[in-house]
Amino acid sequence: MLYRILSLQNITFKEGIKDKSILAIFFIAILTFIAIIIFPNLFARDIGKVCIDVALSSITLLGLILIFFTCSSILSKDVDKKTIYIVLARPFSRAEYIIGKYLGFLSLEVFVITIISVLSTVGVFICYHYNIHYFPKHFSFYEYLLAILMIIEMLAILIALLLFFSSLTTQGFTATILTLASYIIGSSLNDVLDTISNSSDSIKINKGIIYVINLVKYIFPNLSLFDFKLEVAHGVKISSQNITTAFLYGIIYILLLISLSCLLYKRKEFP
């Protein structure tokens, strides 16, 4: 069972890493590396903030590009062009397919993000070295790396979502759109909910609605939980409670999505 899953993980990774979009991603990564070194100097006092913000945002953005271009095109091909036949013609169970595919995308994501992170961390480090006085007092590379790890976990949720939606739809494209929609909802969820609950002082919102809001908060992937850009950029200590909550929430969310996808794929047909 394990060697089957790993063989699928392996070709998924290979297929992904040789894709043209990877070249584009690394190209953008190098551009941002240069930007991190040069660009913040224009902002005098805020050099540190801008530098960290650019680094973390670009990691997120490139991770998203990887998911929405590379991973989703591979998955679409599986469903639309039936490349899935070469997998399912082997003794794979549908669950093994899902897990192998997930691990393939995940390893691709981790690999690419690691390379980009090394690049951007070097960039930030250089920037830090020359402008140490303009960096937040309590800036720490440890927390910076922690923020990157949380970005990776957020992307891991998105991959699980992509697989989950592909189990519901018959077209790869629909799955991509649904994942994109959940990303947009998921990352603005906290802001929207905050606005609503803050306004509850002036306008009376009934308890039912608040209950629904809380429910929505957990059902939709609450991706803003994983965003620690602000803290790191301002040198505010990341609360360990926030990290733990986000980490566990992410793991549970991924496990749930993968299990659901396994169940749905079991019944799925590929005519």
Partner 1 sequence: MIQFKKVSKTYKYNFWDKKITALKELTLTIEKGEVFGFLGPNGAGKSTAIKLLMDFIRPSSGMILIDGIDSKEPQARRLLGYLPENPYFYDQLTPKDLLSFGAKASGVKPKDAKKRISYLLKKLELEHVSKRRLRQFSKGMLQRVGLALSLVHDPQVVVLDEPMSGLDPLGRTLVSKLILELKERGKTVFFSSHILSDIERLCDRIAIIHKGELRFLGYIKNVISKYNEQEQDISLPPKETTSYKRILSPVEKLFIEVINQ
Which residues of this chain interact with partner 1, rule CB under 8 A? 3-4, 7-8, 10-11, 14-15, 18-19, 74, 77, 81-83, 85-93, 96, 267, 269-271
Q: Least distance to partner 1 from the beta carbon of 43, Å?
A: 41
- Residue 88 or 149 having the CB closest to partner 1: 88
- Residue 170 or 199 having the CB closest to partner 1: 170
User: CA nearest 157: which of 253, 248, 35?
Assistant: 253
End-to-end Cα, the chain, rounded Å:
25
Residue 155: C-alpha distances to residues 115, 135, 159, 178 (Å):
15, 28, 6, 15
- Residue 86 or 256 having the CB closest to partner 1: 86
Q: Least distance to partner 1 from the beta carbon of 63, Å?
A: 20
Q: Least distance to partner 1 from the beta carbon of 268, Å?
A: 9
- Residue 2 or 219 having the CB closest to partner 1: 2
Does an H or E element contain 147, and which? helix 141-168
- Residue 17 or 181 having the CB closest to partner 1: 17
Phi-psi map region of 44: left, alpha, beta (phi>0 left; psi -120 to 50 alpha): left
Cα 9 versus chain centre, distance: 19
Q: Report yes or no: 71 and 163 within 8 Å, Cβ to Cβ.
A: no
In sequence order, which ranges of 18-140 are alpha helices (DSSP H)? 20-38, 47-65, 72-80, 84-88, 94-130
Residues 6+ apart with CB under 8 A from 114: none
